[in-house]
Structure 1
């Protein structure tokens, strides 16, 4: 009997009307359609916020560290590259960065036009470790000095293809740089 009612034209119309007018699951279906793009947008916003906040922190630390070189404090303490990294740079960036991944390049330039403030090309070994060799020369009074502090920030490939990576291993190289002339000794 049930099959006979559904097969009749009147029964078919009643079933269609009941299906079309029943909107109890419409909210769930609409949420399912909107949830994925919404979550993708939220994840992309959070990742972008973290990257830009960390970049700003790195820039600020570079400016503070450059000031110590420029005023001769680093030279007076005869800090090695590792000591400079630990005592000057890493002390200020512990929240966002792992100090083991911080790379410091401090070099003297012969002239302002030859000061290298460009983003370096990183080379990696088979384990994904950076193999570049960095200079460490805080210079003397009156020298033009360039400080570059770099960090490879791990980037998660976001939904919908959102990607902030800028190096070959899929991560993001962040760099802060400062070019300055050391103050004359007193």
Structure 2
């Protein structure tokens, strides 16, 4: 039997050559192991800011719907004469409105305006925000008597976090967004205390 010898073992090895600049550049272009992380880093921050902004806008619309529902439910107390019969003052009525709002609403941020009018055409919208971007708090509480026209307005100063991201959606100087809800109605012909039952 003859023995076989490996030819490669007997050849002398060449010293390792350093790749040229062009060779390193080609190898760099072909290497894509970190490209996903870099692309995510470039896109993540704008995406997260946009996502936070959309969530904040959604919360504002949600809060507006919740406030509308609370105004509709609370206005019924005035319209049917229950607020007048219970002698609810402005603070008591505000607590009634707060009872229809979720727990994350703060009574300190809620303002209620209830006024009576002789006809629906005499009501005129007044400015709510002054030139310093502050809420004009010229509010009153007049529940009216039977068959009288009443306009109830509720205002909530919703805190906005978008200004921290450079997207300011607030309309008041304190960085809040004013959410408003209104109910205009004619009181039912409920019996008054002086008129008997």
Instruction: Provide the TM-score with structure 2 as the length reference.
Output: 0.80
1:114 matches 2:119: no
Among 39, 42, 52, the residue aligned to 1:30 = 39
Deviations 1:55-92 (A, max 9, x none): 10000100111111101010010101001111x10111
Q: 1:179 to 1:185 in 2, by over 3 A?
A: same
Structure 2 counterparts to residues 1-186 of structure 1, below 5 A: 11-86=20-95, 88-116=96-124, 120-121=128-129, 132-158=137-163, 161-186=166-191
Structure 1: distance between partners of 2:169 and 2:127: 16
1:71–1:182 Cα contact (<8 Å) kept? yes
Deviation at 1:150, TM superposition (A): 0.7
Q: 1:101 to 1:42 in 2, by over 3 A?
A: same
Deviation at 1:34, TM superposition (A): 1.1
Deviation at 1:40, TM superposition (A): 1.3
Structure 2: distance between partners of 1:67 and 1:140: 14
Structure 2: distance between partners of 1:105 and 1:119: 13
Whichever structure has more helix as a proportion of its residues is: 1
2:64–2:179 Cα contact (<8 Å) kept? yes
Gaps of 5+ in 2: 1-16, 192-197
Matched position secondary structure for 2:156:
strand
Structure 2: distance between partners of 1:90 and 1:13: 72
Task: Give 1 or 2 for the bigger CA radius of gyration.
Answer: 2
Deviations 1:115-158 (A, max 9, x none): 2456622588xxx8x67231001000011000001111111225
- How many residues align? The count is 175
Instruction: Provide the TM-score with structure 1 as the length reference.
Output: 0.84
Gaps of 5+ in 1: none
CA RMSD after TM alignment: 2.4
